[in-house]
Structure 1
Amino acid sequence: MMPGMTPHAPSATPQSTSRRIIVTGCDHSYFHLVDELVASIRDHADTPIGVIDCGMTPEQVARLRARGIRTITPHIPDHAPRRAIRNRPSLAINISKLWLDQMLPEFDLIAWLDADTWVQDGGALEQVFAAGEGGALAIVPEIGAKIANLLGVRWICPGWMQIRSFLYKNASRARLPFHIRKRIGAKPLLNAGVFCLHRDATIWPVLRRWQALILPRRGMAFTQDQLCMALAVYIDGQPVTFLDNGHNYLGPWLLDESTGQLANLFFPHPPVGIVHMASQKAMRGGLENTMTIPTVQGGRVALNLRYAGMRQFRRHDGRPENIPPS
């Protein structure tokens, strides 16, 4: 057991008739985000929730358990880099993602939501569960409304370029052979911030086989979950069900003034289902930190994208500030 990680007895969370659970994980510094994630889930569903504890304080654990949230000891396989986890205990969260079927054998359907996500539309959460019912990996590929190059490249000279995608770079760091890097290098990243799997899905042992190969290699603990999922799907042909980007929305950000909700960039701008604040470090750290985003109606508004930030915005009638175009 790593420092700061305490084994927890199962909490008295009532069993769901459908035997499904939503799982996340955090240390003490991300607890405020998990607290908001739990509140956002409870706005829509009474599904059991579990939190992998990678360094929460006793008071934080007690607060979760008082709300019927189970706390879960991370699973750290023998091949995990012990020194890296001692220095950064939260790495055990990403490692544990690939062991959830064994960590939670009493549940049939397991949905994972990163600590920096929150649920805006309960229908999206139901669709995530529905997509995982049949045994396929239910996940969002990063090919949606992001305003960015679909494939990272570095131009060397006219007609020549170097692939710089997430999957190619990480497969290279893991020292995977070129024929594998070639097959996955131009494929979309499968974002492991939101996914769902049935406990009996065939992909679990395949994920762990790749993890056992990749994890001991230096610097791979943080990114190995997404790389393992891509390898299991693109190399081993494990079944996958792609969800649209509204189920794990990373931006670009847009507000619908008529509803006070974050909206999808794609017309007709439906409400975002699950908000993911990856790369939004300042906003994750404090509600006073905002960013200026456009609105469906043509305005501009300063928002903090967290669950608490959006609730605060709506409490003030959801009226956008008069912000001139940049």
Structure 2
Amino acid sequence: MTPPDHPASPAARRIIVTGCDHAYFELVAELIASIRDHADTTIGVIDCGMTVAQRERLGAQGVLVLAPHIPDYAPRRALAKRPSLAINISKLWLDQMLPDFDLILWLDADTWVQDGQALERMFEAAMSRTLAIVPEIGAKRADLLGVRWLCPGWMQIRSFLYKNATRARLPFAIRRRIGAKPLLNAGVFCLHRHAPIWTVLRQWQALILPRRHMAFTQDQLCMALAVYIDGQPVTFLDNSHNYIGPWLLDEATGMLANLFFPHAPVGIVHMASQKAMRNALENTLAIPTVQGGTVAVNLRYGGMRALSGRGG
């Protein structure tokens, strides 16, 4: 048989990565279970304060336990007070931390996977070595840009990017260019290990991270700067790939649905700003249903399984 002119390339080596301390471990355990409902992709967890028993539990499940990467310029005092900040810092070093993998998909500890096709689309979007990420636009909020009206005809921009660029003491020319842009939510993103943006992200991190109070939000700010200022290539995915609400339940399927008609199932659920539900499964939120009712649910993977009768 004559070999093909263009033999098939070897399959890209893929990994899904998250991170946690001991307090967020149960959320990560639920995230892992939700991933394995849909895929057998390798999973890694950055350890920023798990117990020995928790690390052993992950190892027994075949999960890679990873040490965080803390660059020399990281604020040591802030990390000493809050070691979990090393997770956000490490996000921008995953290509160096994981040299044996080609495609790296990051999922925050407070996310879980409801539709496995969302994982496939994230990996596919990153194959071209662009940043695959969801911009915060659309159903999440009624006002796309936070402003404060000072007087008729005058207002002050109060967007996340503008405020954080100001805290980072970036020049006004940069703040003006990114202030009205949508936030790129770093809770879910995918990158090829050879994507050119990695180096640019770390250049911004080296500038921003040593500055006061910037450790928690620097990852999202760095991504915005790399895309909006440096023009690094990006592929935007719709909000079902990193869904933060408004929440809607389809009683016919028992699944969380997108607010936009035709209310397709949400792919990746992100429980940002849902502290009570993250802390305990018995804490619930009353949300509307596609059918016109209201149901009290806990948005966690465990809570939704209990609602559908699959818990335990």
Q: Provide the TM-score with structure 1 as the length reference.
A: 0.92
Per-residue Cα deviation, 1:266-315 (whole angstroms, up to 9, x for no partner): 00000000000000000000001000000001010000000000000000
* Aligned twin of 1:262: 256
Distance 1:92 1:316, change over 3 A: closer
Alignment of 1:214-225 (within 5 A): 214-225=208-219
Structure 2: runs of 5 or more not aligned = 1-9
Structure 1: runs of 5 or more not aligned = 1-15, 318-326
* Aligned twin of 2:227: 233
Q: 1:289 aligns with which of 283, 288, 292?
A: 283
* Aligned twin of 1:10: none
Distance 1:49 1:40 in 2: 12
Kindly state the Cα deviation for residue 149 of structure 1 after the two structures are TM-superposed. 1.4
* Aligned twin of 1:73: 67
Distance 2:70 2:179 in 1: 29
Q: 1:19 aligns with which of 2, 9, 13?
A: 13
Distance 2:54 2:152 in 1: 56
* Aligned twin of 2:5: none
Distance 2:190 2:140 in 1: 22
Q: Which aligned segments of 4 or more residues in structure 1 are displaced greater than 4 angstroms?
A: none
Q: 1:85 aligns with which of 73, 79, 84?
A: 79
Per-residue Cα deviation, 1:83-107 (whole angstroms, up to 9, x for no partner): 1001100000000000000000000
Q: 1:301 aligns with which of 289, 295, 310?
A: 295
Distance 1:59 1:191 in 2: 32
Kindly state the Cα deviation for residue 18 of structure 1 after the two structures are TM-superposed. 3.0
Letter in 2 for 1:238: Q
Distance 1:105 1:54 in 2: 20
* Aligned twin of 2:172: 178
Alignment of 1:245-256 (within 5 A): 245-256=239-250
Letter in 2 for 1:240: V
Secondary structure, counterpart of 1:252 in structure 2: coil
Aligned pair count reads 302
Distance 1:144 1:257 in 2: 23
Letter in 1 for 2:236: F
Distance 1:88 1:175 in 2: 23
* Aligned twin of 1:199: 193
* Aligned twin of 1:29: 23
* Aligned twin of 2:114: 120
Q: 2:267 aligns with which of 269, 273, 282?
A: 273
* Aligned twin of 1:244: 238
Distance 2:154 2:102 in 1: 49
Distance 1:122 1:212 in 2: 35
Distance 1:41 1:147 in 2: 28
Matched, 1:103 2:97: yes
* Aligned twin of 2:305: 311
Letter in 1 for 2:25: F
Secondary structure, counterpart of 1:25 in structure 2: strand
Distance 2:124 2:152 in 1: 47
The percentage of aligned residue pairs carrying the same residue is 79
Secondary structure, counterpart of 1:29 in structure 2: coil
Matched, 1:46 2:50: no
* Aligned twin of 2:157: 163
* Aligned twin of 1:320: none
Distance 1:164 1:109 in 2: 35
Letter in 2 for 1:48: T
TM-align CA RMSD: 1.1
Letter in 1 for 2:38: H
Letter in 2 for 1:216: P
* Aligned twin of 2:7: none
